[in-house]
Structure 1
Amino acid sequence: MNAIDLPAHAPVDVMKSVLMTPEQYAYLLAQAEPPSAVQAGLIEYTRGLGGVAEMRIPHEQAAFLTLLTRVVQPRLVVEVGTFTGYSTLAFALGLPPDGKVITCDVSPEWTSAARKAWQEAGVADRVDLRLGPATETLSALPEDLVIDLVFLDADKPGYESYWDLLVPRVRPGGLLLADNVLYGGEAADPRSEGNARAIRLFNEHVRADDRVESVMLPLADGLTFARKREG
């Protein structure tokens, strides 16, 4: 597909992102490892919850997280926002034998399904689920705790607080990922409100944070990929 020429006044490079049709998305999804039986079951369970099912990350993003985890080989991942555990499962599948995911959520109901899936996948021993407000959970983490990888996928107004609680605990060279940073495209609008406004302000916060170097990727609903600077 040819690049799309943007207006001459636009201070950006040419846009090469593909606007997906259902056929193109099916093709893209087919290039990832297919869901395991446990993953497929968790997808179906989550779909049955109705509208909230949109909070589950799509499978191609899960495949990316598993691959990234296998490359980075983190000993500790901290995830904010468990839901039914699909992203947690993706991390756990990629962890080294001594790796652990601390995942934070407030819902016993949704995370009960997550626990079942982790058990069926044989990775329950790699997951430390902590129920309660994430700010309390993160604040209680030891200040000398060494975190290798962070994933934010929870309430959008909380992102900035979670970020600032976690960045100091991430090791130099460690990674921080934040999901939904495009928020359906609404975050690009200066007049955005609600969750989209919270995401826009979070994006500005990350961009101004000299503790990290970061890039926003058009994966799923937008994924910020940041690396904590050395020193």
Structure 2
Amino acid sequence: MAEASNIDDWTRSDVYHNSFLIPADEALEYARKSSDEQGLPEIAVSTAQGKLLNLLARSIGAKRILEVGTLGGFSTIWLARALPEDGELVTLELQPKHAEVAQGDIAHAGLASRVKIIVGPAAESITKLQPEPPFDFAFIDADKPGNLTYFLEAKRLVRKNGVIIVDNVVRHGRVADPTQNDASSIGTRKLLEHLKTDKDVDATTISTVGEKGWDGFTYIIRL
């Protein structure tokens, strides 16, 4: 059997596994469609990735979640569904249009009471947060040059033994290629260089392939 090595193979595999493990979901389909119709960039997490975020948050019993980068609310819905009825998710979004679309998608999913969207530059918004109690889980999926800034603030805001996930850290292998010096790769390298010596956390990067192509996430625990 030939080794699967392209996005068509990876997408077929995602669709196949999802058909067993992730039922069709009207609210998530609505969020996808509304984002497309409003012209939002097609950069949301995949369905399988969204389910993974949901499972990870549930596995630690998260009651408070921080998200950096809302887009149309697809990942927000997955994460908010991991929360108990009295849980809260705070999500930061730069673009007012994206936040408006996300608000509608989140409300359609019946989760408006659990989600607070803060509009504005995340690097500014996140410094103003003083949660009590602290967050249990953070998902960083915004502009990649800001990765280190977002991580440092998330570390301040997340409880001991809390989890921080940073998405899009492999980027088709460009981050590990010294000839590639785009802003996103440089921003991710700065985060990795910091993590190497940060004694307050422990972390690993996992590469992924699927309908979103070849990428990966860094999983970080606050010690």
TM-score by length of 2: 0.87
Q: Larger deviation: 169-178 or 42-51?
A: 42-51
Q: 1:143 to 1:129 in 2, by over 3 A?
A: closer
From 163, 167, 177, the equivalent of 1:189 is 177
- Residue 163 (structure 1) shift: 0.9
Q: Following superposition of structure 1 onto structure 2, how do residues 186-225 of structure 1 map, counting pairs within 5 Å?
A: 186-194=174-182, 195-219=184-208, 221-225=215-219
Equivalence for 2:72: 84
1:139 correspondence with 2:133: no
Higher relative contact order (CA 8 A, sep 6+): 2
Distance in 2 (alpha carbons) for counterparts of 1:149 and 1:87: 13
Q: C-alpha deviations, 1:125-144, integer Å up to 9, x for none?
A: 00011011112111111276
Distance in 1 (alpha carbons) for counterparts of 2:186 and 2:80: 32
- Residue 123 (structure 1) shift: 0.8
3-state secondary structure, aligned to 1:97:
coil
Choose between structure 1 and 2: higher strand proportion: 2
Unpaired segments of 5 or more residues in structure 2?
A: 210-214
Distance in 1 (alpha carbons) for counterparts of 2:130 and 2:68: 16
From 35, 47, 53, the equivalent of 2:36 is 47
Equivalence for 2:212: none
Paired residues of 2:63 and 2:87 also in contact (CA < 8 A):
yes
1:119 correspondence with 2:107: yes
Equivalence for 2:18: 29
Distance in 2 (alpha carbons) for counterparts of 1:35 and 1:193: 40
Equivalence for 1:96: 84
Equivalence for 1:162: 150
Paired residues of 1:183 and 1:199 also in contact (CA < 8 A):
no
Distance in 2 (alpha carbons) for counterparts of 1:71 and 1:50: 34
User: How many pairs does the alignment contain?
Assistant: 215
For the pair shown, the structure with the greater C-alpha radius of gyration is 1
- Residue 28 (structure 1) shift: 3.0
Paired residues of 1:145 and 1:169 also in contact (CA < 8 A):
no
Distance in 1 (alpha carbons) for counterparts of 2:218 and 2:24: 24
Unpaired segments of 5 or more residues in structure 1?
A: 5-16
Letter in 2 for 1:129: I
TM-score by length of 1: 0.84
1:226 correspondence with 2:220: yes
Distance in 2 (alpha carbons) for counterparts of 1:69 and 1:18: 31
- Residue 190 (structure 1) shift: 1.7
3-state secondary structure, aligned to 2:78:
helix
3-state secondary structure, aligned to 2:165:
strand
